[in-house]
Amino acid sequence: MDKKELLEFAAKAAGLDLARWDEKRDCMYHPFRSTLQEGHEWDPWEDDGDALRLAAHLQIDLEFNTDISTVLAIAPKQRGCAADWRVGGNKAGAVRTAITRAAAALGRSM
């Protein structure tokens, strides 16, 4: 599954109506309620805030295993989706990845 599909399924799980995919920026746009704004990027794969809001909305649990440098994200009624931070030591990136994967798995099952 590529990034676009992951974000589409994650958005579906969260009930978001995403306006469009931007090929150049490799992200999706979520429309603002205001007609003065076109929308803003929505990318829980890269944005800590988007990932945290997604996890909170879907009630995704996170488990950390520092012995093997992994984080496990578990969406309700889903198996866990793991990511590791050994390469480059990017724990925040691993958390975002695991959350997005767990949300996408939930959205795919809907």
Express each pLDDT in 65-90 by its tens digit.
877 778 888 888 777 777 777 756 78
Residue 98 backbone zone (phi > 0: left; psi -120 to 50: alpha; other: beta): alpha
Residues of the chain with pLDDT under 50: 32-37
Predicted confidence at residue 25, as pLDDT, reads 64
Q: What is the spatial distance between Cα 83 and Cα 2, in angstroms, rounded to a whole number?
A: 16
Neighbours of 12 (CB within 10 A): 18
- List, in order of start, the domains of the chain with CATH numbers: 3-108 (3.30.2120)
DSSP reduced 3-state for 49 = helix
